[in-house]
DNA sequence: TTCCAGGCAATAC
DNA sequence: GTATTGCATGGA
């Protein structure tokens, strides 16, 4: 069984175990439906029409910054703080007092850094005028590294960019599919080549990229949060 | 109390 | 180029 085959099989097993996850965005920007805010079971499961507009794209990007090295429950608190002030828009945050912004995002940590990152991103976002940013341009923005860029592109802009995070590394390392010093791009290419080969339809592949990452996070929270990583992980029994 | 969380930039070597 | 460090809050 090749690495690519294993990567495809892992997805099938995770999906069968946990089901579709339904991630970003989290808040209802149109008032037409009620998203399950803060529900760990998912927010809009099996509805892949999201994000439906620029505001929802913005929320995904904002969440991508806020979730850096931070649990997502904390991020949801910050987003709700902003939403409650009717300030979950680039314009409102831009006009907001910086200390007020810091207070809103305080639950998700690093508020001094992240407030600056957010303001830098808003300037960038406004200049886009609705266009999809290139990955390289995103990486030039202060506070946006590889994972955050891919997070914005995959979940916000529906681009075929696989998001690699610490959990992805741990699982792949534990299963012997990468080595410790594997770089971000190496892991990303491994995942993308495996999935591209087995899923020719782009719309379908996008959904799998999104769900796969979400499934990895869900699975890793259960088996890869405490050392030794991967203890009792049922994926080990597959190969 | 300690450890960890859906990383990043700055700095040191 | 690679390794280390500071950043901050909240929950287990």
Cα–Cα distance for residue pair A160/A203, rounded to 1 Å: 9
Which bases on strand C have an atom closer than 7 Å to a protein beta carbon? 3, 6-11
Q: For residues A128 and A113, give the distance between their C-alpha atoms in angstroms, rounded to a whole number.
A: 23
Indicate the pTM of the whole model: 0.95
Three-class DSSP category at A224: coil
Distance A166 CA to B9 C1' (A): 18
Rounded-to-integer distance, Cα A160 and Cα A158, Å: 7
Query: Residues A149-201: pLDDT tens digits?
Result: 999 999 999 999 999 999 999 999 999 999 999 999 999 999 999 999 999 99
At residue A41, the pLDDT reads 57
Per-residue confidence (pLDDT) for residue A32, from 0 to 100? 47
Mean pLDDT for all residues in chain A: 93
> Residue A232 to residues A224, A229, A235: CA-CA distances in angstroms?
10, 9, 9
Q: Tell me the pLDDT tens digit for each residue of A162-174.
A: 999 999 999 999 9
Nearest nucleotide from residue A107 CA, by C1' atom: C9
- Whether any strand B atom is under 7 angstroms from the Cβ of A221: the reply reads yes
| Residue A59: predicted pLDDT | 96
Q: Is the CB of A64 under 7 A from strand B?
A: yes
pLDDT at A79: 94
Give A130 CA → C4 C1' in Å. Answer: 39
Q: Is the pLDDT of residue A202 over 80?
A: yes
CA A216 to chain centre: 11
- Residues making up chain A, counted from first to last: 239
Strand, coil or helix: what is A100?
Answer: helix
- Which whole number is the average pLDDT over A13-29? 88
Establish whether the CB of A132 is closer than 7 Å to any nucleic acid atom in strand B.
no
Provide, in whole angstroms, the distance separating residue A103's CA from nucleotide C9's C1': 12
Q: What is the pLDDT of residues A28-47, one digit of tens each?
A: 776 544 455 444 456 788 88
> Which nucleotide is nearest, taking the CA of residue A183 and each C1'?
C2
- The model's pLDDT over A116-134, given as tens digits with 9 standing for 90+, comes to 999 999 999 999 999 999 9
pLDDT at A20 over 80: yes
Predicted confidence (pLDDT) per residue in A64-91, tens digit: 999 999 999 999 999 999 999 999 999 9
The predicted structure's pLDDT at residue A39: 46
């Amino acid at each position: 069984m090749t690495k690519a085959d294993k990567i495809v099989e892992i997805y099938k097993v995770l999906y069968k175990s946990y089901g579709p996850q339904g991630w970003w965005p989290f808040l209802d920007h149109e008032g037409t439906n009620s998203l399950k805010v803060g529900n760990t079971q998912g927010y809009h499961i099996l509805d892949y029409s999201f994000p439906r507009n620029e505001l929802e794209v913005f929320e995904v990007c904002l969440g991508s910054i806020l979730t850096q090295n931070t649990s997502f429950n904390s991020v949801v608190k910050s987003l709700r703080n902003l939403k409650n002030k009717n300030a979950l828009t680039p314009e409102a945050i831009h006009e907001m007092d910086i200390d007020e912004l810091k207070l809103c995002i305080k639950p998700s940590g690093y508020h001094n850094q992240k407030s600056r990152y957010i303001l830098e991103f808003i300037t960038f976002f406004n200049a886009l005028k609705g266009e999809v940013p290139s990955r390289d341009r995103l990486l030039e923005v202060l506070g946006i590294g590889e994972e955050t860029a891919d997070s914005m592109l995959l979940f916000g802009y529906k681009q075929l960019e696989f998001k690699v995070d610490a959990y992805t590394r741990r699982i792949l390392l534990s299963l012997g599919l990468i080595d410790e010093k594997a770089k971000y791009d190496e892991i990303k290419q491994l995942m993308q080549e495996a999935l591209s080969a087995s899923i020719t339809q782009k719309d379908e592949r996008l959904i799998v990229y999104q769900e796969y990452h979400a499934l990895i996070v869900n699975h890793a929270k259960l088996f890869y949060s405490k050392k030794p990583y991967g203890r009792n992980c049922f994926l080990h029994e597959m190969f």
